[in-house]
Amino acid sequence: MIGRLNHVAIAVPDLEAATAQYRDTLGAQVGPPQDEPDHGVTVVFITLPNTKIELLQPLGDDSPIAGFLAKNPSGGIHHICYEVSDIRAARDRLKAQGARVLGTGEPKIGAHGKPVLFLHPKDFAGTLVELEQA
């Protein structure tokens, strides 16, 4: 059901510093910051030959990333994102197998302009999983 790894998301307390570290220290191709108000984050994508890294910073006080950073002040891996060919079919299959879909269960448009859903970390070895329609 899942396809390729789309990205690994890392929550950071200082987006500008993290972006500079990936660009200047690691020599990575870094995109511009994008505000994603529907998700409460500002993101920067780092393009790698085989996937992407998504740096996340809270956008507003009620951002879910703010809570993550309160528990992990230095930042850390927040979620992994897999591609699926049909997000609603994937959701229905996962729910039928007992997996919990976060939020309303309806896909939202993510930072790549495609539908996304998040799956409860307790159902996936403690890892928050994002599904993105390819």
pLDDT in tens, the chain (134 residues): 999 999 999 999 999 999 999 999 999 999 999 999 989 999 999 999 999 999 999 998 889 899 999 999 999 999 999 999 999 999 999 999 999 999 999 999 999 999 999 999 999 999 999 999 99
Every domain of the chain and the residues it spans:
5-133
Helix (H) or strand (E) holding 15: helix 15-20
CA distances from 9 to 5, 46, 51, 79 (A): 11, 10, 11, 5
Predicted pLDDT of residue 60? 87
What token pair was written down for 24? 């200047």
Residue numbers annotated as active site:
130
Helix/strand/coil for 88: helix
5-133 CATH pick, 3.10.180.10, 3.30.365.10, 3.30.70.3190, 3.40.50.300: 3.10.180.10
